[in-house]
Amino acid sequence: MAADTSSDDRGLRKGKWAPYGLLSPGILWLVLFFLVPVMILVRTALSSKASRFANPEFSWQFSNFTSAFTDYGPQFVRSFLFAGIATISAILIGYPLAYWIATQGGRWKNLLIGLVVVPFFTSYLIRTIAWTSLLKDDGVILNVIHAIPFVPQDFRLLATPAGVIGGLTYNFLSFMILPIYVSLEKIDFRLTEAAADLYGTPWQAFKKVVLPLSMPGVFAGSLLVFIPAAGDYLNNRYLGSPKTSMIGTVVQDKFLVQFDYPVAAALSLVLMAIITTMVLIYSKFLGTEGLAV
Amino acid sequence: MVMSEGVAPPYLSRELEQPGKTRKGSTSSQRAGSRWGRRILTAFACLVYLYLFLPLINIIVFTFNDPAGRYNISWDGFTINNWLDPFKDQELTNAFIRSLEVAVLSISIALIMGSLVAIALARYRFTGSRGIEIFLVLPLTTPEIVLGASLYQLFLGRNVVFGFSTVVIAHVMFCVSFVALTVKARVRGFDWTLEDAAMDLGASPWRSFRKITFPLILPGIVAAALLSFALSLDDYIVTDFTKGEFTTFPIQVNNAFRVSFPPQVNVLATIVLIVSVLLLVLTSVRSEKGATR
The predicted-structure confidence for A260-289, as pLDDT tens digits, reads as follows: 889 899 999 999 888 888 877 877 776 555
pLDDT of residue B19: 43
With respect to residue B27, please indicate whether it lies within any of the assigned structural domains: no
Q: How high is the mean pLDDT of chain B? A: 83
Question: Is B52 inside any structural domain?
Answer: no
Could A106 and B136 be called an inter-chain contact, meaning their C-beta atoms sit closer than 8 Å? no
Residue A84 C-alpha, separation from nearest chain B C-alpha, in angstroms = 15
Q: Is residue B45 part of a domain?
A: no
High-pLDDT (> 70) share of chain A, %: 90
Domains of chain A: 71-292 (1.10.3720.10)
User: If you average pLDDT over residues A160-175, what whole number do you get?
Assistant: 93
We report the CATH number of the domain holding residue B156 as 1.10.3720.10
Tell which of B11, B18, B28, B266 to mutate to test the A interface (max A CBs under 10 Å). Answer: B28
Indicate whether A290 pLDDT > 60. no
Query: B176: nearest CA in chain A?
Result: A26
- Contact status of A19 with chain B (Cβ, < 8 Å): yes
pTM over cut 0.90 = no
Q: How many domains does chain B fold into?
A: 1
Written in H, E and C, the secondary structure of chain A is: CHHHCCCCCCCCECCCCHHHHHHHHHHHHHHHHHHHHHHHHHHHHCEECCCCCCCCEECCCCHHHHHHHHHHHHHHHHHHHHHHHHHHHHHHHHHHHHHHHHHHCHHHHHHHHHHHHHHHHCCHHHHHHHHHHHHCCCCHHHHHHHHCCCCCCCCCCCCCHHHHHHHHHHHHHHHHHHHHHHHHHCCCCHHHHHHHHCCCCHHHHHHHHHHHHHHHHHHHHHHHHHHHHHCCCHHHHHHCCHHHCCHHHHHHHHHHCCCCHHHHHHHHHHHHHHHHHHHHHHHHHHCCHHHHC
CA distance A256 to B241: 7
pLDDT, one tens digit per residue, over B86-125 is 888 899 999 999 999 999 999 999 999 999 999 888 888 8
Q: Do B41 and A291 touch (CB under 8 A)?
A: no
Residue range A201-256, pLDDT digits in tens: 888 888 888 888 888 889 889 988 999 999 999 999 999 988 889 999 999 998 99
In a domain, B60, yes or no: no
**Confidence band for A50, pLDDT divided at 50, 70 and 90:** low
Angle value at C-alpha B173, between B230 and A72, nearest 5 degrees: 90
Among chain B residues, CA nearest to A5: B189
Please check whether residue B67 lies inside any domain of the structure: no
CA B121 to chain centre: 22
Determine, yes or no, domain membership for B252: yes
Q: If contacts are CB pairs under 8 Å, which of residues 78-107 in chain A contact chain B?
A: 93-94, 96-97, 99-107
Domain that holds residue B245: 90-261
Distances (CA, A) of B288 to B18, B225, B285: 10, 18, 5
User: Do B20 and B291 touch, CB atoms closer than 8 A?
Assistant: no
- Give the nearest partner residue to A173 out of B52, B114, B284, using CB atoms: B52
The answer to whether residue B107 sits within a structural domain is yes
Residues of B in contact with A276 (CB under 8 A): 141-142
Residue B232 lies in a domain: yes
Q: Give the closest of A99, A190, A251 to B28, CB-based.
A: A190
